[in-house]
Structure 1
Amino acid sequence: MVKLYDTGVYLLSGKEIVCDDPHAAEQIKHKTGKQAAIEQAKRGTIAYSILKAHNTSSDEAKLQLKFDALTSHDITYVGIIQTARASGMTEFPVPYVLTNCHNSLCAVGGTINEDDHMFALSAAKKYGGVYVPANLAVIHSYNREMMSKCGRMILGSDSHTRYGALGTMAVGEGGGELAKQLLRKTYDLAAPAVIGVYLAGKPQPGVGPQDVALSIIGKVYDNSYVKNKVMEFIGDGVYNLDVEFRNSIDVMTTETTCWSSIWCTDEKVRHYYEVHGRPEDYRELKPAEIAYYDGLVYVDLAKIKPTIAMPFHPSNIYTIEELKANPLDIMHKVQTEARQQIDNPDITLDLVSKVRNGEIYVDQGLVAGCSGGTYDNIVAAANILDGQSTGNGVFTMSVYPGSQPAYIELVKNGAVAALMDAGVIVREAFCGPCFGAGDTPANQEFSIRHTTRNFPNREGSKPNEGQISCVALMDARSIAATARNGGKLTAATELDTHYHTPAYAFNRSIYDKRVYNGVGKADLSVELKFGPNIKDWPVIPSLTDHLLIKVISYITDPVTTTDELIPSGETSAFRSNPLRLAEFTLSRKDPAYVGKAKAVQQYELKRETGEDPSLLSEELKKVYAKIKAIPGYARLDAKKAGIGSTIFASKPGDGSAREQAASCQRVLGAWANLAGEYATKRYRSNLINWGMIPFLVNGEPKFRKDEYIFIPDVKAAILDGRKEIKAFIVGENVQEISLSVGDLTSDEKDIITAGCLINYYRE
């Protein structure tokens, strides 16, 4: 059971909840003998103390943060280092961990993965970083094991950068924000609200962390209850959960769209640090005697049931019990809703056929990555499958331990043997299954996964090409129970299993023997190793006085994910070549986008060489004739108006932190996005860092696809921080509209007008 409070709450001594109502002060005075002032009580949260310790500004409302460490993987680190290098970086000022867990398979058709890995190793040596070789650990497993510390803050270029259960506030962001930290700049944001997540009780046997996480996501995603806020986990239920159970819940907080997370710590966390050879990195974190939260999510762990997130979002949840009780109706409902998210009307999607004789049958089970591949999850799966068989039919199951230290313990205690004996394939540490580079389901297959996401354009699906698979998220325990029944959907609570988790011993020598740790040992004499497909960023123009943008893509879906803006999977082979990668922009959502963007970009390239844009084509002659007919613009100098493309999307940016979702649009000549709202802060930040204006459109857009929008004096409007920016739709007729950009920091204004982060720091 998950309940949301519709008011803020006071928490007394970490246990008692008092709603913020007219009687709150009286109740608190009676219980504690103290007065309760909201502003003082807000300083009682764990989040407040950590943010304060990392804030370099004198204003508590406007934070300027410096992080203790940074982390990236091999889809993102080349672009980040190239950006920082082009901006004047000479060394990594804080520990920077470069893991190789996303592109550790052989590349086909683009950058050879090992070229990027050798670039990263040379960068770690040159600038003083940490290099984790391929298949040794997934990014978040390594950082939990080696980089977490109570009270620390870590910034990562992966959206699932979350180490709150270990007392570390971690944030997943686009590469531009890491480049700023590498350049000794700050991460700027308004102080986020803090939402308490009160865990009560204890889960029943067979209920796992994914069940808890999905139950929370299902309650808070659609209503944006925690969007861009900090989730602070408190309550007696925390102490009933093992640390790895907490870690698996924590990493899924990303799917709520919260900004970061933090948990109170206890003796179990102390033991975690001791086992990992870092007892000095533990300290107790807990709220003050009186702490105030801007909202509260109350979770009764005892009432959580095995849960499944059906296609195509982690918030589309059902209990397995209710799904099995009414399979045909629910599968038909999910199938109908799923089809509405796919633009290809010819695609076949048939979930109803997975129901046979009243039972639901799945084709594949997978336990992997930062959410599923923990030691405890895999041991629990082995407990269920010990002495059993997954069968020799269509159903297959794979397990990916999150790190080699976890893997070797699973080998020693017999868990790997039990899984393999049951027919499970045990693989290396690899994030690929989460984005379609490992165990990719066949067309029309139904896959159940303890991973992080189940968007329609992930796991290898290509809806615009007729290729579709349906992924549902489940806990490792229920996946193992389903495997034990040959693919018949089964909740782990339906089985009578004796769960036994052998004590974990961390073998640090595995890392000591293979990881290069150059922190504090920068050597500028080292030459960076460039493979032939590792390219520099192209030159990006600075913002002009005026702007003329063409709406070349118009997306009305409720949410547009980063996987739709720039697909994962096959595009990764070109991740280090900005121009080649840009060829995939919106390829699964709007295949015509790239051609249209290039056509508009040609106008801008000619303008930059001094040609008069109003004379470049019949189309532009008509557009400029209409603009010059607007009162006050008869003498407009067209050479001072940049020309570019833009997209409209109702709510873009849910999902990955990959900056390529923005940078690919930019290198194709985009100047802006138009949106009703932005799904995440990180996508909006990516736009800004690439010099793209994050315009907001109030209400139903009045412009249409392929129409131009003229924004006069846009540079001045950005620098002046105008709340409303005048613009004109230049279609069949000219219509004045108003746009806005929300609040921008001083640096953000300068970055946008400079054209991008690289230009800003060069200047």
Structure 2
Amino acid sequence: MSDSVARQLITSHLVSGEPKPGAEIALRVDQTLTQDATGTLVMQELEAMDLDRAQTEVSVQYVDHNLLQADEKNAEDHAFLRSACRRYGLWFSKAGNGVSHPTHMKHFGKPGKTLIGSDSHTCAGGSMGMLAIGVGGLEVAGGIAGEPLYLRMPEIWGIRLDGELPPWVSAKDVILEMLRRHGVKGGVQRIIEYHGPGLAHLTAMDRHVIANMGAELGATTTVFPADDAVRAFLREQGREDDFTELVADEDADYDVTDEIDLSTLEPLIAKPSSPGNVVPVREVAGTPVNQVVIGSSANPGLRDFAMAAAMVRGRQSNDAVSFDVNPSSREIFADLTKMGATFDLISAGARLHQTGCMGCIGMGQAPASGTNSLRTFPRNFPGRSGTKEDSVWLCSPETAAAAALTGEIVDPRDLAEKLDLAYPQLDLPETATVNTEMLVAPLEPDQARDEELVKGPNISALPDFPPLPDRIEAPVLLKVGDDISTDEISPAGARALPFRSNIPKLAEFTFTQVREDYPQQAAELKESTGHIIVGGENYGQGSSREHAAITPRHLGLHAVVAKSFARIHWQNLANFGVVALEFDDPADYDRIDEGDTLVLEGLRDLLPGDRHAEIRNDTKDETYKLHHRLSERQVEAVLAGGRIPLLARRETADRERVDA
């Protein structure tokens, strides 16, 4: 069989298992990535595991999310992260150095390597021939400690690209076209691999845009070949020696196929409030806009900012629009300034913010209620912006800049007639600015062992969850519909994010976007029965934040019964001892109401031996058939109350063997 790039990467890192779709496999981890919104928990997990030293080739902690310092909490987290990097042997990227994904690609990414990150958009690393997978923080902690990554072998979905993008259409429109066709569940249990002659017209950073938002399709990851475009990117960064060619074999086989003729694409936009709600821009033209934000890991390249700057050069943004720009790194900021693009943006009324994720995670830049915000971001889940009743649209830099100028959604192809604006021809520098001064290298092992973790008052200990009981009898406290996101379970935004390292406090925000009194009601049931949640399709889509599993667990959640689960959240639930069960008959979802008492019995015997279960609805005197997809390894973690106790025991045993 001729191998795809994805299969070559998997085969070269396979530790155990057979790489057949649906089978559990284990992969060697070369690199890890953490960011500050999820990294504090990863470092607490390393402490709980009693880790001595990172076992990966490269592990990097970025500070790019919680940058606003309205009080002491975020600053305390940053000090804790720095101390943990010094103690455990990780690189530390200082606050404001850059958004993790493009910064990692620029300085550490290598074709042929595996990368796991506690951020769902880690898949952006696939743009340069890596197997880059977003996972829960505990998976990353395990990877840092030398554990392999376990996952179910996905199908390989080959997408053939032909043609070349026309003017005013860019890489963001390619991934929006994928979402228009396939929706937010189209990539579930699949690795997307792009191939074909159209690749020759996409730069490495174009590919980053497409790979980044593969997460919005629900894909395990996205893979591009390491070809001349990747070599050129590494040459620009002064790292051409790190290039290794990695391309698909001729006539490579794919489990599923699709194709896109790039020359036929048009400007697209995702309407509120789902990345899968995609329509042509012309279909919604004329809609008033009050905010435009350019930046984020979904459009992080110099080209993306330079295009917006060229479009607004010599013009002024509409007076009804808040025009915001978040450079993705200090190096991009420097190159924009050298080009004169920074001056063009400022003169057009743009507000330049910190180099980081910012409004993408709701850390500032919240829009006004009842107004439309156009963003070059990857997600527009309800309330993610920090405004509860928001109206966020996702689009390319071209479409965003067009709205900034006109105050309404407009197809950028129509700007020639509206504003006498021709398609800009960009002259980007051949060599990128390279500045490693804000990347702090790991200490030597002997120095690192003398380091103490710096913990401010807002940094709590990890909760100690008991083993799974044999019998669960608990009420359905909450019933939610399809595509509930981790943003709705554990919200982003400037109110909640500063408590990411304080689980008891963060728990007070759990599900408040769905129902304000959930935390209070859950806390009241915690010491008696606990509770159960019933969900629809794709429960837990979106961000990898394991807080969305931990805080409900902290409030007494025993089990989630759903039609289906998003990959990362499903794994996170198992990692923290929550039983994830799926309906055999999805119609049974409609038979359960909030307040019904559900009973699961014989769990400690049932889970290890059978994938099938029954749950009794005592309120309605009905029984429903369920199943689970947990491996023996995951069952062991659920029964123990989570993976941390298991990993800690193994780390201690390994150290004792070495000492002996």
Q: TM-score normalised by the shorter chain: which range applies?
A: over 0.9
State the AA in 1 paired with 2:35. Answer: H
Aligned to 2:352: 426
Paired residue secondary structure (1:583) = helix
Kept in 1: contact 2:73–2:499 (CA 8 A):
no
Q: Give the Å deviation of 1:57.
A: 1.2
Aligned to 1:151: 112
Larger Rg: 1
The CA deviation string for residues 256-298 of structure 1, in whole angstroms up to 9 with x for no partner, is 1100111123222111111212112212221112211111221
Aligned to 2:155: 193
**Normalised by the size of structure 1, how large is the TM-score?**
0.81
1:655 aligns with 2:542: yes
For residues 223 and 266 of structure 2, the distance between their equivalents in structure 1, rounded to whole angstroms, comes to 24
Paired residue secondary structure (2:496) = helix
State the AA in 2 paired with 1:670. Answer: L
For residues 519 and 505 of structure 1, the distance between their equivalents in structure 2, rounded to whole angstroms, comes to 31
State the AA in 1 paired with 2:141. Answer: A
Aligned to 1:691: 577
Q: Give the Å deviation of 1:449.
A: 0.8
Aligned to 1:713: 602
1:313 aligns with 2:274: yes
Paired residue secondary structure (1:155) = strand
* Change beyond 3 A, Cα 1:192–1:519: farther
Aligned to 1:568: 492
1:552 aligns with 2:477: yes
Specify every segment of 5 or more residues in structure 1 that has no aligned partner in the other structure, as ranges: 1-39, 325-358, 463-467, 604-642
Specify every segment of 5 or more residues in structure 2 that has no aligned partner in the other structure, as ranges: 417-421, 650-660
Kept in 2: contact 1:84–1:758 (CA 8 A):
no
Kept in 2: contact 1:101–1:431 (CA 8 A):
yes
Aligned to 1:52: 11
Aligned to 1:446: 372
State the AA in 1 paired with 2:337. Answer: V
1:754 aligns with 2:640: yes
The CA deviation string for residues 287-343 of structure 1, in whole angstroms up to 9 with x for no partner, is 11221111122111111101111111111111112333xxxxxxxxxxxxxxxxxxx
State the AA in 1 paired with 2:614. Answer: K
TM alignment of 1:320-719, pairs within 5 A? 320-324=281-285, 359-391=286-318, 393-462=319-388, 468-487=389-408, 489-492=410-413, 494-495=415-416, 496-508=422-434, 510-511=435-436, 513-518=437-442, 521=445, 523-555=448-480, 557-569=481-493, 570-603=495-528, 643-651=529-537, 652-678=539-565, 680-697=566-583, 698-699=585-586, 700-701=588-589, 702-719=591-608
Paired residue secondary structure (1:654) = coil
Paired residue secondary structure (1:372) = coil
Q: Give the Å deviation of 1:69.
A: 0.8
Aligned to 2:84: 123
The CA deviation string for residues 327-360 of structure 1, in whole angstroms up to 9 with x for no partner, is xxxxxxxxxxxxxxxxxxxxxxxxxxxxxxxx33
* Change beyond 3 A, Cα 1:417–1:761: same
Q: Give the Å deviation of 1:488.
A: 5.4
* Change beyond 3 A, Cα 1:396–1:408: same
Out of 293, 296, 299, the residue aligned to residue 254 of structure 2 is 293
**Normalised by the size of structure 2, how large is the TM-score?**
0.93
* Change beyond 3 A, Cα 1:486–1:696: closer
Q: Give the Å deviation of 1:506.
A: 2.8
* Change beyond 3 A, Cα 1:180–1:291: same
* Change beyond 3 A, Cα 1:374–1:178: same
State the AA in 2 paired with 1:371. Answer: A
Kept in 2: contact 1:362–1:489 (CA 8 A):
no
For residues 505 and 372 of structure 1, the distance between their equivalents in structure 2, rounded to whole angstroms, comes to 20
Kept in 1: contact 2:289–2:321 (CA 8 A):
yes
Kept in 1: contact 2:307–2:424 (CA 8 A):
no
Q: Give the Å deviation of 1:243.
A: 2.0
Kept in 1: contact 2:270–2:395 (CA 8 A):
yes
For residues 628 and 541 of structure 2, the distance between their equivalents in structure 1, rounded to whole angstroms, comes to 19
Alignment root-mean-square deviation, CA: 1.6
Identity among equivalent positions (%) equals 26
For residues 322 and 616 of structure 2, the distance between their equivalents in structure 1, rounded to whole angstroms, comes to 56
Kept in 2: contact 1:132–1:514 (CA 8 A):
yes
For residues 536 and 45 of structure 2, the distance between their equivalents in structure 1, rounded to whole angstroms, comes to 30
TM alignment of 1:16-165, pairs within 5 A? 40-41=1-2, 44-57=3-16, 59-61=18-20, 62-94=24-56, 95-108=58-71, 112-161=73-122, 162-165=124-127
For residues 59 and 293 of structure 1, the distance between their equivalents in structure 2, rounded to whole angstroms, comes to 17
TM alignment of 1:715-754, pairs within 5 A? 715-720=604-609, 722-731=610-619, 734-742=621-629, 744-754=630-640
Paired residue secondary structure (1:444) = coil
For residues 27 and 203 of structure 2, the distance between their equivalents in structure 1, rounded to whole angstroms, comes to 31
State the AA in 2 paired with 1:297. Answer: D
Kept in 2: contact 1:76–1:658 (CA 8 A):
yes
* Change beyond 3 A, Cα 1:488–1:666: closer
Aligned to 2:183: 221
State the AA in 2 paired with 1:168. Answer: M
The CA deviation string for residues 203-248 of structure 1, in whole angstroms up to 9 with x for no partner, is 11111111111111111125x4321210001011111122222211
Q: Give the Å deviation of 1:487.
A: 4.1
For residues 411 and 376 of structure 1, the distance between their equivalents in structure 2, rounded to whole angstroms, comes to 13
Paired residue secondary structure (1:298) = strand
Kept in 2: contact 1:373–1:399 (CA 8 A):
no
The CA deviation string for residues 604-662 of structure 1, in whole angstroms up to 9 with x for no partner, is xxxxxxxxxxxxxxxxxxxxxxxxxxxxxxxxxxxxxxx42111110211111000111
